[in-house]
């Protein structure tokens, strides 16, 4: 299928006119395209994507139109082509180095996960403040003390960090990361960080999602709070 060349912004640019909620849906589209590729599909449509994701086909077409024309009416989208274009837009057509702070159960599980790299991310260093954890080996990664964060961030040109520390330590560690050159943080700590405007933080707190879901459930607790 001959696809039109999309009007994609240069990879290092950021278009502030595009709503963040639209940017937030692009990784979901990309994940679904990869799933379709694994199934051997070559072509999809906004209707099929919408059915898979529970999003209207009109919304999907509107979201993609911010970045160019990627398909043809009546023909749909070439899946490998659209996958490649979304990777470029999200800047995951390369592998980003990531540092992680927190070598507890969560941190070690995330550092051991092998599904990041084929989606654009590689954990290059793991840090912790506990003396008994320093020097532990996790695959090819050795747990290092927090004091090494500035050196490692500079050496690896890292911009992204994962924060898997207790809430009480999260603010101080985030400040150290930012001072070292990190400008994007994925935070697992159950706290809202205070960071400069130019630093982006994404939060993952399973309890928040649990509490969102239980609103819609009939009461069935083990015991009353």
3-class secondary structure, 155: helix
Distances, alpha carbon 154 to alpha carbons 135, 157, 213, in Å: 21, 5, 41
Residue 107 · residue 141 · CB < 8 Å: no
Reported as a pLDDT band with limits 50, 70 and 90, residue 71 is confident
Topology of domain 20-89 in CATH is: Arc Repressor Mutant, subunit A (1.10.10)
- pLDDT of res. 13: 57
Query: What letter does residue 188 receive in the DSSP assignment?
Result: -
167 touches 187 (CB < 8 A): no
Mean pLDDT of 100-106: 96
The answer to which of 53-62, 65-74, 100-109, 146-155 has the lowest mean pLDDT is 65-74
* 3-12, 184-193, 198-207, range with the lowest pLDDT: 3-12
164 and 100 Cβ atoms separated by less than 8 Å: yes
The CATH number of domain 96-209 is 3.40.1380.10: no
The length of the chain, given as a count of residues: 225
Q: What pLDDT is attached to residue 225?
A: 59
Name which of 40-44, 66-70, 132-136, 201-205 the model is least confident about: 66-70
120-169 pLDDT, tens digit per residue, is 999 999 999 999 999 999 888 999 999 999 999 999 999 999 999 999 99
Averaged confidence pLDDT in the chain: 91
Other beta carbons within 10 angstroms of residue 179's beta carbon come to 11
**Start-end of H helices in the chain:** 20-38, 46-53, 57-65, 79-89, 105-112, 149-156, 167-180, 206-214
The domains of the chain are located at 20-89, 96-209
pLDDT score at 12: 55
Confidence of residue 1 (pLDDT cuts 50, 70, 90): very low
């Amino acid at each position: 299928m001959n696809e039109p060349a999309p009007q994609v912004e240069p990879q290092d640019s950021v278009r502030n006119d595009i709503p963040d909620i639209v940017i937030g849906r692009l990784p979901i589209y990309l994940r679904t395209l990869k799933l379709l590729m694994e199934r051997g599909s070559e072509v999809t449509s906004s209707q099929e994507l919408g059915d898979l994701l529970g999003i209207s086909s009109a919304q999907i077409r509107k979201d993609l139109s911010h970045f160019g024309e990627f398909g043809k009416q009546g023909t749909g989208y070439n899946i490998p082509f659209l996958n490649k274009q979304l990777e470029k837009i999200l800047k995951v057509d390369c592998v980003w180095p990531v540092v992680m702070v927190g070598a507890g159960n969560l941190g070690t599980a995330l550092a051991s996960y092998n599904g990041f790299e084929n989606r654009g991310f590689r954990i290059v260093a793991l840090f912790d403040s506990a003396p008994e954890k320093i020097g532990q080996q996790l695959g090819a990664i050795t747990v290092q003390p927090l004091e090494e964060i500035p050196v490692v961030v500079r050496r690896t040109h890292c911009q992204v960090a994962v924060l898997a520390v207790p809430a009480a330590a999260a603010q101080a560690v985030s400040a150290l990361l930012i001072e070292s050159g990190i400008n994007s943080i994925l935070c697992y700590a159950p706290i809202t960080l205070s960071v400069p405007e130019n630093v982006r933080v994404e939060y993952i707190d399973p309890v928040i999602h649990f509490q969102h879901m239980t609103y819609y459930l009939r009461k069935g607790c083990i015991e009353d709070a």
